[in-house]
C-alpha cells in the first residue's frame, strides 16, 4: 500500500514538473522584447533593438537563442550603429547546476559587427553609463559592517563559482570589428574573424583556441590562421601554430613606395618562419622625414643658399648609429624583392635567405641584379653584445661602375646642405666600365664610422677596358716628359684616361686599405705600384712606376732614354682634388744612373776597340 502511494506521489511530482517545463517552453518571450530592452537601457544606458526571435529552451538543457540584435546609444545618435548581432546561442547543462557548477555546453556568436568611434564629448562610444532608477537612488544604504560582510561573502562565492565553471564549446563566426578615428573619415582599422573556436574552456586546465583572423587598414591587409594554448590560472598564452599572410603597401602620401606580401609560419613558438615577396621598395633619402622628396630637396636648396654663422666642414662625416633590436624569437625566412631603391641605389631581383637565433643574424645566400651585373654575399651579424660584430663575404661581378658611382654621387649631393661639400661631391672622379670585386671583411662597432675604422680583411678589384673621368694621366705624363726633355707640349688635356685594365689587391686594417700589387694599363704606359686609401677621410696616396713605350698608341714620344726607365709618379689627395706629379728627385737619380750606365758602356766599347787596334 505504501509502495503504491509513493509511486503515485512521484508520478504526480513528475507530471507537475513536466507540465511546468512544457508551460515554460510555450512561453513567448517575443512579447516581452520591449521589457527586456528597457531593462538593458537602465543597466547600461544603451538601446537594444531585438528585431529577430527569442527562443528559450529547457530540455535537454537550458538554452536561449536570440536573433537580429542592434545596439545604439540614444544619447549620441550616429549614422553608424554601435553594433549588430545576427545570432546568439547559449546552452547550459541542468544537472551540474544542482551541485553548484556552471557548465555551458555551447556558446555561439554569429554575425557580430562592432563599431568603435569617438563621440563628440571625446569618449569612446562603447562605454557603459547606466541609468539610475528612483528606487536605487532612494534605497536605504547598508551599514558598514553588513556591507563588509556582504562583500566578503560575495567575493568568496564568486571565487568558488569561478573555479567551477566550464565552457565546453565556444564558437565565433563572421565577426567584424571596425575602428574609426573620426566619424567623417573612412575606417582606420577593420578586423574580421571568420572563425574562432575553443573547447573545454575553464580555469582548471589549459585549453586551445584556434582562429582565422583578417585585419585591414588603408595600407595593410593581414590574414592569419593562428592557434594559442591558454592557461588562465597562470595567465599564460603561448602561440602553438601560425600560418598567415600580410599584404602591405605604402600610404599614398608617403615618400617611400612599396608593396608586397609576407608569409608567416610558426610552430612551437618562439620559432617563426617568414617569407617576404615585394614588387618594388622605394626608400626616401631621409626615412625619418615625412615630407616628399621634392619638398626635402627644396628645403635643402633654401638652407644651402642662406648664409649661416658656422657651416660644417666638407671633411666632416657624421657617424650613423647602428643598433639592431633584440628579438626573443628564432626566425628563419626568405625574401624576394623585384626592385629595391634605397638612397638612390637600385637593386633588382633580390633574393636572400636569413635566420636569427640568440641575437645572431645570418644572411646566406644573397643574390641580386646590380647595375647590369651581379651582387652576391653572405653575412653574419652578432648582436649578442655591444659593439655589434659583422662578418661579410661579398662579390660584384661585371657591375657597371659608372652608373653606380653616378647614383652614389647624386644621393650624397641630395642629402648634404653644405654648398662647398656639394660642389666637392660633384667634382669627384668617376670610373666607367665593368668591375669585378671580391672582399672578405670582419668589423665591429656601433656606428658606420666605427665599422670602417675596425675593418680587417682583404679585397681584390679588376676592370677591363675602362675610363677614368676627371683626370688625363697620359697628359700628365707627357707634361712631365716635355719638361724633362725640354721640348714643347703638343698634347691636349682630355680630362679622362682610357685604360685597358686595372687590377688591385687590397689589405684592410685600421680604416686603411693598402695595396702592394697594383696594375694599371693605359695606351703607351704600364703603371704598377703600391700605396694606400684612407677610408675615413677619405684620402689617396699612391706611389706608381710608369713604364713608357714608343708604341703607336702612345700619346707622346718619351724618347729613347725615358722609355728605358720606369718613371716615378705620386698620386695623392682627396678624390675630388687629386694631385699627380713626377717624382723629380727620384727621376733625376734614375736618369743619372742611366747616363752613368751609358758612359760605362761607351767607355767599355772604346777600350775594346783600342785593344783590337793594338
For the segment 106-117, what is each residue's pLDDT rounded down to a tens digit?
A: 999 999 999 888
Q: How high is the pLDDT of residue 288?
A: 39
Among 65-69, 137-141, 492-496, the minimum mean pLDDT is found in: 137-141
CA distance 598 to 604: 10
Whether 380 and 529 map to the same domain: the answer is: no
Whether 50 and 74 map to the same domain: the answer is: yes
Query: CB of 511 within 8 A of CB of 452?
Result: yes
Query: Is 601 among the domain residues?
Result: yes
Among 20-29, 59-68, 493-502, 581-590, the minimum mean pLDDT is found in: 20-29
Q: How confident is the model at residue 418 (pLDDT cuts 50, 70, 90)?
A: low
Q: How confident is the model at residue 489 (pLDDT cuts 50, 70, 90)?
A: confident
Of the three residues 156, 183, 202, the one that is the final residue of a domain is 202
Among 65-74, 437-446, 603-612, the minimum mean pLDDT is found in: 603-612
> Region 186-214: what's the mean pLDDT?
87
Q: How high is the pLDDT of residue 290?
A: 40
Rank 184-188, 262-266, 347-351 by mean pLDDT and report only the highest.
347-351
Whether 525 and 387 map to the same domain: the answer is: no
Query: Is 418 among the domain residues?
Result: no
Statement: residue 360 has pLDDT above 80:
yes
Q: What is the DSSP letter of 32?
A: G
Digit-coded pLDDT (tens) for 9-54: 444 444 444 444 455 555 677 888 888 888 888 888 888 898 999 8
Query: Is 96 among the domain residues?
Result: yes
Statement: residue 384 has pLDDT above 80:
yes
Whether 96 and 195 map to the same domain: the answer is: yes
For residue 454, the enclosing domain spans 374-408+428-458
β-partners of residue 330 are 271
**Long-range contacts for 383-386 (Cβ within 8 Å, ≥24 apart)?**
383/324, 383/326, 383/359, 384/358, 384/359, 384/360, 386/446
Residue 92: closest CA among 107, 72, 82, 113: 107
Q: How high is the pLDDT of residue 396?
A: 95
Q: How high is the pLDDT of residue 136?
A: 45
Q: How high is the pLDDT of residue 256?
A: 63
Whether 571 and 596 map to the same domain: the answer is: yes
Query: Is 366 among the domain residues?
Result: no
Q: How high is the pLDDT of residue 108?
A: 93
Q: How many domains does the chain have?
A: 3
Digit-coded pLDDT (tens) for 498-553: 888 889 999 999 899 999 888 888 888 888 889 999 988 888 898 888 887 776 66
CA distance 436 to 453: 24
User: Considering the chain, what is the average pLDDT of its residues?
Assistant: 76
Whether 401 and 485 map to the same domain: the answer is: no
The more confidently predicted of residues 399 and 37 is 399
Of the three residues 184, 202, 220, the one that is the final residue of a domain is 202
- Strand residues in 383-485 grouped as ranges (E): 388-400, 430-445, 456-469
Rank 73-87, 245-259, 310-324, 595-609 by mean pLDDT and report only the highest.
73-87
Statement: residue 558 has pLDDT above 80:
no
Among 366-370, 376-380, 515-519, 588-592, the minimum mean pLDDT is found in: 588-592
Q: How high is the pLDDT of residue 110?
A: 94
Phi-psi group of 359: left, alpha or beta (phi > 0 → left; psi -120 to 50 → alpha; rest → beta): left
Query: Is 550 among the domain residues?
Result: yes
Share of the chain above pLDDT 90, in %: 18
Q: How confident is the model at residue 318 (pLDDT cuts 50, 70, 90)?
A: low
Whether 439 and 547 map to the same domain: the answer is: no
Statement: residue 571 has pLDDT above 80:
yes
List alpha helices for 354-418, DSSP H: 401-415
Which are the contacts of 439, defined by CB distance < 8 A and separation ≥ 6?
392, 393, 394, 395, 457, 458, 459, 460
> Region 398-404: what's the mean pLDDT?
90
The more confidently predicted of residues 567 and 391 is 391
CA distance 519 to 507: 16
Whether 384 and 437 map to the same domain: the answer is: yes
Cα 119 versus chain centre, distance: 36
Q: How confident is the model at residue 560 (pLDDT cuts 50, 70, 90)?
A: low
What the block records as the C-alpha cell of 281 is 621598395
> Region 404-408: what's the mean pLDDT?
84
Whether 487 and 441 map to the same domain: the answer is: no
Query: Is 229 among the domain residues?
Result: no
Of the three residues 438, 458, 478, the one that is the final residue of a domain is 458
Share of the chain above pLDDT 70, in %: 72
Whether 43 and 188 map to the same domain: the answer is: yes
Query: Is 207 among the domain residues?
Result: no
Among 9-18, 251-260, 286-295, 573-582, the minimum mean pLDDT is found in: 286-295
Q: How high is the pLDDT of residue 441?
A: 95
Q: What is the DSSP letter of 420?
A: H
The more confidently predicted of residues 222 and 542 is 542
Statement: residue 160 has pLDDT above 90:
no
Whether 474 and 443 map to the same domain: the answer is: no
Q: How confident is the model at residue 102 (pLDDT cuts 50, 70, 90)?
A: confident
Q: How high is the pLDDT of residue 238?
A: 73
Digit-coded pLDDT (tens) for 115-157: 888 887 778 888 765 555 554 444 444 444 444 454 455 445 5
CA distance 359 to 384: 5
Query: Is 545 among the domain residues?
Result: yes
Whether 451 and 542 map to the same domain: the answer is: no
pTM recorded for the entire structure: 0.62
Q: How high is the pLDDT of residue 379?
A: 95
Residue 505: closest CA among 451, 462, 558, 454: 462
Among 68-77, 481-490, 605-614, the minimum mean pLDDT is found in: 605-614
Amino acid at each position: 500500500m505504501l509502495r503504491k502511494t509513493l509511486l503515485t506521489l512521484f508520478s504526480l511530482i513528475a507530471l507537475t514538473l513536466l507540465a511546468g517545463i512544457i508551460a515554460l517552453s510555450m512561453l513567448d518571450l517575443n512579447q516581452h522584447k520591449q521589457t527586456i530592452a528597457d531593462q538593458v537601457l537602465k543597466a547600461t544606458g544603451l538601446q537594444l533593438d531585438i528585431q529577430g526571435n527569442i527562443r528559450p529552451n529547457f530540455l535537454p538543457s537550458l538554452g536561449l537563442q536570440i536573433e537580429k540584435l542592434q545596439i545604439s546609444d540614444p544619447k549620441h545618435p550616429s549614422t553608424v550603429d554601435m553594433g549588430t548581432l545576427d545570432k546568439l546561442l547559449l546552452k547550459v547543462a541542468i544537472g551540474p547546476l544542482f551541485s553548484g557548477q556552471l557548465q555551458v555546453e555551447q556558446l555561439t556568436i554569429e554575425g557580430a559587427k562592432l563599431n568603435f568611434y569617438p563621440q563628440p564629448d571625446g569618449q569612446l562610444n562603447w562605454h557603459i553609463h547606466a541609468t539610475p532608477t528612483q528606487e536605487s537612488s532612494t534605497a536605504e544604504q547598508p551599514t558598514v559592517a553588513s556591507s563588509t560582510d556582504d562583500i566578503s561573502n560575495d567575493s568568496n562565492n564568486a571565487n568558488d563559482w569561478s573555479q567551477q565553471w566550464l565552457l565546453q564549446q565556444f564558437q565565433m563566426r563572421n565577426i567584424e570589428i571596425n575602428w574609426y578615428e573620426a566619424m567623417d573619415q573612412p575606417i582606420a582599422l577593420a578586423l574580421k574573424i571568420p572563425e574562432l573556436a575553443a573547447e573545454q574552456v575553464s580555469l582548471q586546465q589549459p585549453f586551445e583556441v584556434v582562429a582565422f583572423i583578417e585585419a585591414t587598414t588603408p595600407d595593410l591587409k593581414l590574414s592569419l590562421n593562428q592557434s594559442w594554448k591558454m592557461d588562465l590560472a597562470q595567465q599564460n598564452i603561448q602561440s602553438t601554430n601560425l600560418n598567415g599572410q600580410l599584404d602591405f603597401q605604402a600610404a599614398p602620401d608617403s615618400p617611400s613606395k612599396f608593396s608586397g606580401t609576407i608569409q608567416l609560419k610558426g610552430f612551437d613558438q618562439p620559432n617563426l618562419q617568414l617569407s617576404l615577396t615585394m614588387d618594388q621598395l622605394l626608400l626616401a633619402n631621409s626615412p625619418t622625414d615625412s615630407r616628399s622628396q621634392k619638398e626635402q630637396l627644396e628645403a635643402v636648396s633654401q638652407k644651402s643658399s642662406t648664409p649661416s654663422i658656422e657651416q660644417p666642414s666638407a671633411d666632416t662625416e657624421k657617424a650613423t648609429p647602428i643598433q639592431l633590436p633584440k628579438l626573443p624569437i628564432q626566425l628563419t625566412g626568405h625574401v624576394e624583392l623585384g626592385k629595391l631603391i634605397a638612397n638612390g641605389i637600385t637593386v633588382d631581383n633580390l633574393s636572400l635567405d636569413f635566420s636569427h637565433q640568440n641575437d645572431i643574424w645570418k644572411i646566406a645566400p644573397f643574390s641580386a641584379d646590380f647595375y647590369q651585373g651581379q651582387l652576391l654575399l653572405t653575412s653574419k651579424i652578432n648582436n649578442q653584445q655591444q659593439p655589434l660584430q659583422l662578418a661579410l663575404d661579398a662579390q660584384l661581378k661585371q657591375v657597371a661602375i659608372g652608373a653606380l658611382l653616378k647614383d652614389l654621387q647624386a644621393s650624397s649631393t641630395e642629402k648634404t646642405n653644405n654648398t662647398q661639400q656639394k660642389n666637392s661631391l660633384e667634382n669627384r672622379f668617376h670610373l666607367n666600365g665593368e668591375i669585378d670585386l671580391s672582399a672578405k671583411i670582419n668589423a665591429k662597432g656601433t656606428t658606420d664610422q666605427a665599422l670602417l675604422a675596425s675593418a680587417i680583411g682583404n679585397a681584390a678589384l679588376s676592370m677591363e677596358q675602362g675610363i677614368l673621368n676627371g683626370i688625363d694621366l697620359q697628359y700628365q705624363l707627357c707634361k712631365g716628359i716635355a719638361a724633362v726633355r725640354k721640348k714643347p707640349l703638343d698634347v691636349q688635356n682630355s680630362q679622362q684616361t682610357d685604360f685597358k685594365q686595372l687590377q688591385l689587391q687590397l689589405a684592410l686594417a685600421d680604416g686603411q686599405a693598402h695595396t702592394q700589387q697594383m696594375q694599371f694599363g693605359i695606351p703607351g704606359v704600364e703603371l704598377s705600384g703600391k700605396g694606400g686609401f684612407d677610408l675615413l677621410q677619405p684620402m689617396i696616396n699612391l706611389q706608381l712606376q710608369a713604364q713608357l713605350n714608343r708604341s703607336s698608341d702612345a700619346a707622346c714620344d718619351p724618347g729613347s732614354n725615358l722609355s728605358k726607365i720606369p718613371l716615378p709618379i705620386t698620386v695623392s689627395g682627396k678624390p675630388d682634388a687629386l694631385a699627380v706629379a713626377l717624382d723629380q728627385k727620384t727621376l733625376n737619380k734614375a736618369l743619372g744612373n742611366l747616363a752613368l750606365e751609358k758612359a760605362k758602356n761607351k767607355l767599355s766599347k772604346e777600350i775594346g776597340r783600342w785593344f783590337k787596334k793594338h
